[in-house]
A = this chain, B = another copy of it.
Amino acid sequence: MIRGRVEVTEFESPVLRGNPAGDPHVRRVPVYLPPSYDTSPGRRYPLVVVLTGFTGRGRMLLNDSPWSPSLDDRLDALIHAGAPEMIALMPDCYTRFGGSQYMDSTATGRYETHIVNELVPWADATYRTRAAREHRAVAGKSSGGYGALHLGMRHPELFGAIACHSGDMLFEYCYQTDFPKACSVLQAAGGVRAFLEAFEAKPQKGKDDMLALNIVGMAACYSPEPAAELGVGLPFDLSTGLPRDDVWPRWLAHDPLRRLPSHADALRSMRLLWIDCGTRDEFHLHHGARAFARELTRLGIAHVHEEYDDGHMNVSYRYDQSLPALARALSA
């Protein structure tokens, strides 16, 4: 089997320089180049931007695992089995808060701008992409699925196809359920800053630590609050422990399910809109995916909605379904 190859670039981002969270502005960005790339120098390829989940960054897509191929091995195998060749770009939008939701935020930095204004143009300039929305997709899982919808809905001029796997939506179900526990953890830690510092110092991160980091991370993206500690507007009041009615609506305004109607045209313009989720998703995201698909149907927007019998973790085998479909849609 002829393999593609991966180039890892140390990308220096002016957009991320001096970001408020103090994260590096130089990121290692892997790009997968398909098997024929070096031997067919006149050929151009579609581009898929693949976004990792919370606490991930692009390099992690290349991780080796005993029973789940790395993204480059997976693409090699899919192409070997007949999928059209494509280039894959793997951004690093990790932050101290665990992630960025691929959004601009005063608490984390301008990660949406980083992808849209920096990475995609750079990829088009550096590699032989077919540099038009018709040949460009954004895909991801979990927070990466959120990012795929977020970027696709807001930038139809850039992206002509979307794959959202187990993406964050129906926020009442996937986030709000964790507020009381996150509140307890943050109260015990003594606030956001103290929590993060203790978290970073722990050799092992416990289940409650991860839960709290997730809520802090989402707050940093959905409800940044410059006056608050580290600029993060929590959805509960740490002193009383009660939900904050002024913050929750700010989160809901970011829920893809609620944003869908106002981005119906963008979604309708996609060559492929792929939504899937396991029916035992531990974050209950199957409820959201179903509601999203139902709304798409109601609005007459073509899409694929698939369900499968599994949970939220270790489902990268779903890319075996979506990536060939994207590649075909982008190659037409």
Contacts and interface: CB of A to CB of B under 8 A. Distances in A.
Given A173-B180, A180-B177, A290 B241 contact: yes
A242 B291 contact: yes
Interface string A43-78: 000000000000111011011111100000000000
Given A176-B176, A242-B287, A310-B203, A62 B64 contact: yes
A240 interface: yes
A307 to B, nearest CB: 12
A203 B317 contact: yes
A172 B174 CA distance: 14
Contacts of A63: 60, 63-65
A113 interface: no
A259 interface: no
A324 to B, nearest CB: 18
Of A55, A56, A63, A291, most B-chain CB atoms within 10 Å: A63
Interface string A228-246: 0000000000001111000
A204 B311 contact: yes
A240 B242 CA distance: 29
B60 A56 contact: no
A98 B310 contact: no
Of A172, A174, A183, most B-chain CB atoms within 10 Å: A172
Nearest to A213: B66
